[in-house]
């Protein structure tokens, strides 16, 4: 990173860039332990090997939720303090959250095909999850095609805050619809079989480190992109003055 770029990034972004490098080793360790534990986890007597998607699907959901919550919190701070680094963090949270949500929507139908006999059902949770994905995909499109104006950033911040209303709804919708939902109940203490708790725990830890690494990386990239845009604008202005 150049000295000029370092001067333009906030102190928080610079610390985040250093933190990302510290995450590399624990990330690799947890991924290795995660893969080993999933391979050696017992096979469910009812669902068979398809049950092992449990070690991937819920952690992806938690990552998606966390990404969108980061978008809302960072957007709220931006509205309050007008801090551009928080606006960039909101963008990073959304993009990584959408990646996790996309993978969640891919792994879910794989499990559904093996248990329900069909790839998709308009189950309440699946429907709300798809709506959540569309909402934050729209956020990404808004930021991509509307420029980096203050007005766009403020609108996106409000949009990101309103969007998280769907997260608690998505989590509790099984209880709301009671027995009318095909989706399994939310995991609770004791709901996992013998030998399944450790791979599930390692899956959550490993994918959390992956999530954190990607958010910090995307935040850093967005900051550097902003610096490059500012440098280009200054260069063009200087050229016009010379002409």
Q: Is residue 3 part of a domain?
A: no
Domain that holds residue 16: 10-42+51-187+196-233
Residue 243 pLDDT: 58
Task: Please give the average per-residue pLDDT across 164-181, as a whole number.
Answer: 76
> Average pLDDT, whole number, for the chain?
83
Q: Is 44 helix (H, G, I), strand (E, B) or coil?
A: strand
Number of domains in the chain: 1
Q: Is residue 101 part of a domain?
A: yes
Q: Is residue 242 part of a domain?
A: no
pLDDT band at 187 (very low <50, low <70, confident <90, very high): low
| Residue 27 in tokens | 């990330």
Residue 36 pLDDT: 94
8 A C-beta contact, residue 75 and residue 87: yes
Q: Is 48 helix (H, G, I), strand (E, B) or coil?
A: strand
Q: Is residue 167 part of a domain?
A: yes
8 A C-beta contact, residue 141 and residue 110: no
pLDDT at position 226 over 80: no
- Residue recorded with tokens 């909101």: 90
Q: Is residue 62 part of a domain?
A: yes
Could you give the residue ranges of the DSSP H alpha helices within the chain? 3-8, 11-40, 57-81, 84-115, 124-145, 150-163, 166-177, 197-242
pTM over cut 0.75: yes
Task: Please give the average per-residue pLDDT across 166-182, as a whole number.
Answer: 73
Q: Is residue 5 part of a domain?
A: no
Residue 179 pLDDT: 58
The span from the CA of 71 to the CA of 122, in Å, is: 27
Long-range pairs, 40-48, Cβ under 8 A, ≥24: 40/199, 41/195, 41/196, 41/198, 41/199, 42/193, 42/194, 42/195, 42/196, 44/193, 47/114, 47/115, 48/114
Q: Is residue 31 part of a domain?
A: yes
Highest mean pLDDT, choosing among 42-51, 112-121, 161-170: 161-170
Residue 239 pLDDT: 66
Q: Is residue 118 part of a domain?
A: yes
Least confident residue range of 9-23, 87-101, 215-229: 9-23
Q: What is the per-residue burial (b if ≥16 Cβ within 10 Å, else e) of 69-93? A: ebbbbbbbbbbeeeebbbbbbbbbb
pLDDT at position 95 over 70: yes
Task: Please give the average per-residue pLDDT across 205-221, as a whole number.
Answer: 93
Residue 104 pLDDT: 93
């Amino acid at each position: 990173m150049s000295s000029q770029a370092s001067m333009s990034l906030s102190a928080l972004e610079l610390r985040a860039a250093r933190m990302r490098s510290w995450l590399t080793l624990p990330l690799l360790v947890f991924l290795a332990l995660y893969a080993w534990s999933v391979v050696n986890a017992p096979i469910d007597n009812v669902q068979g090997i398809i049950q092992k998607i449990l070690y991937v699907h819920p952690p992806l959901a938690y990552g998606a939720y966390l990404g969108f919550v980061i978008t809302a919190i960072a957007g709220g701070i931006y509205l309050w303090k007008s801090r551009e680094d928080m606006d960039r963090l909101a963008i990073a949270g959304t993009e990584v959250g959408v990646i996790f949500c996309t993978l969640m929507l891919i792994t879910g139908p794989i499990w559904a095909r093996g248990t329900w006999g069909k790839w998709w059902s308009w189950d309440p949770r699946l429907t709300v999850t798809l709506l959540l994905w569309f909402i934050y995909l729209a956020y990404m499109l808004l930021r991509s095609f509307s420029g980096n104006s203050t007005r766009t950033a403020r609108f996106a911040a409000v949009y990101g805050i309103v969007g998280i209303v769907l997260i608690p709804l998505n989590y509790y919708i099984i209880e709301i619809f009671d027995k009318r939902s095909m989706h399994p109940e939310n995991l609770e203490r004791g709901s996992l079989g013998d030998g399944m708790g450790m791979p599930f725990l390692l899956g959550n830890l490993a994918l959390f480190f992956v999530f954190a690494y990607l958010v910090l990386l995307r935040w850093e990239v967005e900051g550097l992109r902003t610096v490059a845009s500012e440098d280009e604008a200054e260069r063009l202005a200087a050229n016009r003055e010379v002409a």
